[in-house]
Structure 1
């Protein structure tokens, strides 16, 4: 579930349950979240929890949901960073800045990178053709993104 064990979570719950009634009220939860850097309002917590206090089982599921939300946020940040990197790579290939990668631009960049020999103009046309979904002879960003997301496979003879 998370880096915190159920024993740790139980100890946290007991420390939050100041009056030992087996419940953690929204105010106590609010102060805990604030201390660990999750800034929210009492209203948001109450809306999320759906009541004014949590027993241990509710607290456990609340914590589990918070961890899953944090993981989802991290994944969203990672996806955003990947898109930024892909767009930067696209701009390297889009030499004239028109929003498309032509065969000539692809060939020029691959030659500069030493990934293509000068006689491979047809190879670039074929590479573009494979991912050119609208058959306009160039790659837009979406087509480039699709091309870059295809996993590279190696055959046994290449290994």
Structure 2
């Protein structure tokens, strides 16, 4: 039997892993939600295999199954979000190398744009209170349940007072945020 050409995962886009930990968590949450095809909060090896296939990333089924199962906690049917983060960290370190502490200005700008897209779900160039509430809710944060809190968050960075956050306002806010390293 001939071997199918497999994508070279070591040449994956460096933007797969964002350098800001809080932005990376948001992006991973979105990826997790996409891979969790039935929305039960768990990614089974079958769901992950199907998602990778749809992305054009064929993986050896037994290797994928073994790798995924090594991150599933005993008694669970699949990866919960924390397990998915652990799997990503494990694969990320082996595929992309350890994250370096230095980043260029263009890398930082690129990360900011990627993060902004996570929040700007309708792609209109602005983050509305509804969009912010949806993302916070997906992250399981209490603020996502309280629209008043979400509106206050928007107002705290909304310099032009139009009730929504544009990329410049988002970028300024993110540059003020300091997240302890995990």
TM-score interval, smaller chain: 0.3 to 0.5
Query: Normalising by the residue count of structure 2, what TM-score does the alignment of the two structures yield?
Result: 0.40
Query: Normalising by the residue count of structure 1, what TM-score does the alignment of the two structures yield?
Result: 0.46
Task: Indicate the structure whose relative CO is greater, using CA pairs within 8 Å and at least 6 residues apart.
Answer: 2
